[in-house]
Homo-oligomer: A and B are copies of this chain.
């Protein structure tokens, strides 16, 4: 982190009142922290729009482990991308359903391709990709 700078912003009183309520509800410590989060979120969103940006993705998969060969196929897919898939965590949801979260690092377009491959495997009930920042310059 670099130096901290300070500047003022002006706001309608009523708007600030409503924002203060939201801040409390969202458990922020103070306005600065809440506004920094809004600023960082807008920067992250902008960056993740370009396909060659370095990013981190988490893919959440829900699947039925009884489906024939499913676990093997998922493992195989993951190993063929072992350089990008940093880590995986597995949760047993019930007697049938598993949840797996994979953390993938690389260019936005590479992350999207790997996520599509995994979500497309037969037996995966639901899959979602979330892109986030590598944290640099934020």
Contact = CB atoms under 8 A, between A and B. Distances in A.
Contact of A125 (B66, B88, B97, B135): B135
Interface residues of A, number: 77
Contact of A11 (B22, B36, B44): B36
A19 interface: yes
A73 to B, nearest CB: 10
10 contacts: A1-B96, A2-B12, A5-B12, A11-B32, A18-B43, A28-B120, A38-B39, A40-B125, A58-B60, A101-B101
How many monomers of this protein are in the complex?
Answer: 4
A99 B132 contact: yes
Interface in A77-100: 86-89, 91, 93-94, 96-99
A72 interface: no
